[in-house]
Chain A
Amino acid sequence: MSTSTITEPVTGPGGRHAPAAPRRPRPARRDRSVLFRLFTKVVAIVLLLAAWEFAPRAGLIDPTFLTPFSEVASALAELAANGQLAEHVQASLTRSLSGFGIAVLVAVPLGVLIGWYRVVSDVLTPLVQLFLNTAALALLPVFVLILGIGEASKIAIVIYACTWPILLNTISAVRNVDPTLLKLARSLDLPPLQLFGKVVLPASIPTIFTGLRLAGAAAIVVVIAAEMVGAKAGLGFLINDSQYNFAIPSMYAGIVAISVIGVGFNQLLVFIERRLTNWK
């Protein structure tokens, strides 16, 4: 999940679309282009699912190891029906969202503070880079050793994995606020609190959200891995446990569930970002 060595902000998944040029196509053409856009968006996924369905059925792959997608879907439906899916999803989401939330609450204010003092950020940025690029999972044994195998170690490692991308992007956001805006604020003799609230923070939001999206992806990866090591619930546990018990359709069902959750969380963050930066 440490995909970035940054001082410059990194663009995470789910980039924005440029606004379409203002033109007024005929209704018929617009209908066709909407359909076409929908088609381009889903075609690759549909092809993947089709290959997943037919490769095992056609005997290209042993169906024991790659269950056709339709069977995975029915396994998923069964898990949803008997309440197991909800239980595991809830366990995983509670861990990743609480870790993510704590990391946001800590790293954003800390990043603003560090970024504001050039010397402090010069001193601390290499350290943050080091932590960012130390795979969080390498530290899982350390967390388990110190915090035990319960919830605390799992949430702690999510916090760890989320903190660094948020911190680094917040630092870089604050450092890169347009200097003429700061000069303007200074010429108006704006008090520090207003300077942060009205200039520095709004100017930093796009870059901070880049960090949030990276952290969101990291939160999910890390929680799954932590659940695979030692847990009694959670999608990571479901995937691993199903594999041990040779319940291969359930295993794939768990994988599908986590990828849907990952995409959903990222889309949610993109949506919030757009609401906050609708001036763009």
Chain B
Amino acid sequence: MSTKISFDGVGHTFPIRGSHDRLTALEDIDLDIADGEFAVLVGPSGCGKSTLLDLLAGLSAPSSGRILLNGEPVSGPGVDRGIVFQQYALLPWRTAQGNVEFGLEATGVPKRERAERAREYLELVDLAAFADRHPHELSGGMKQRVAIARSLAYDPDVLLMDEPFAALDAQTRESLQDELRRIWRRTGKTVVFITHGIDEAVYLGQRVAVLTSRPGRIKSIVEVDLDREAADDIRSTPEFAQHRHEIWSLLHDEVVRAQEQEKEAVSA
């Protein structure tokens, strides 16, 4: 399969307030993601996962290295990438339908087509019956489904997801994970999914890139080779447990180190 996204020696630093030094958030990231792949990035908190996603989204530019999308360097935001945020980012004054249409307005889809497309994608996330509801009338899971429909409706090549299910309860999270896999298989989008949940990473990803604590580097890439259709409850199979343990072991030291960094930061 052809390469869709390519991180080539990407590093990123932030200015530290009240100091001339800079904080290194990411260092020397090399990662290729294939067209149509479901890639998961997992790492301890503060390791720069979200920064990496912002760079890919073109919301900021890397301090070093480059990011290629379809072989072209990313030079800014664009509608070839759709983002799903942890906090949903729905416009509270618009209905579910209106929120999905918002993405279409931004991409210049003609008015008549918008309503139809929005309805179609609300159907895809099983929310057609709630098209005229405002976000405050929807549950957390429903809101995130609206946000996913919005990102898919304008048909981006790549779906960037920044811990999209972190704020949801366990049952809702699992059903949305299933739904996301179904949508991914149906649409064939390339998905870059960020999480700090190991189970989520194993369940969703074809490949899981494990990041180190700050500065974030790629520690290891784990291929998740699971036949997800084989078992009813894939999460309780020995294969799942094995992948889970592998990633857990890779992450464990990093999490300890990240917690020490946090303690230092607080006491400093």
Contacts and interface: CB of A to CB of B under 8 A. Distances in A.
Interface of A: 178, 180-181, 183-190, 194, 198-199, 202-203, 277, 279-280
Interface stretch (B99-107, B234-242, B243-251): B99-107
Nearest to B95: A279
Contact of B77 (A188, A199, A203, A280): A188
Contacts of B102: 198
Interface residues of B, number: 24
Contacts, number: 53
B99 to A, nearest CB: 10
A32 B136 CA distance: 31
Contacts of A187: 57-59, 77, 81, 83
Nearest to B86: A180
Interface of B: 57-59, 76-79, 81, 83, 85, 87-89, 91-94, 102-103, 105-107, 134, 136
B106 A202 contact: no
B92 A186 contact: no
A189 B136 contact: no
Q: Helix, strand, loop or mixed for chain A's interface?
A: helix
Given A184-B85, A188-B106, A198-B102, A279 B92 contact: yes
Given A187-B57, A279-B93, A279-B134, A180 B76 contact: no
B87 A279 contact: no
Contacts of B134: 279
Contact of B91 (A189, A194, A199): A199
A181 B91 contact: yes
A197 to B, nearest CB: 11
B214 to A, nearest CB: 22
A202 B93 contact: yes
Contacts of B85: 180, 183-184
B94 A189 contact: no
Contacts of B87: 180
Contact of B59 (A186, A198, A279, A280): A186
Contacts of A279: 92-94, 134, 136
Contacts of A203: 91-93
Contacts of A181: 89, 91
A194 B103 CA distance: 12
- Most-contacted residue by chain A among B83, B103, B107 (CB, 10 A): B83
A194 B94 contact: no
A155 to B, nearest CB: 34
B59 A183 contact: yes
Nearest to A182: B89
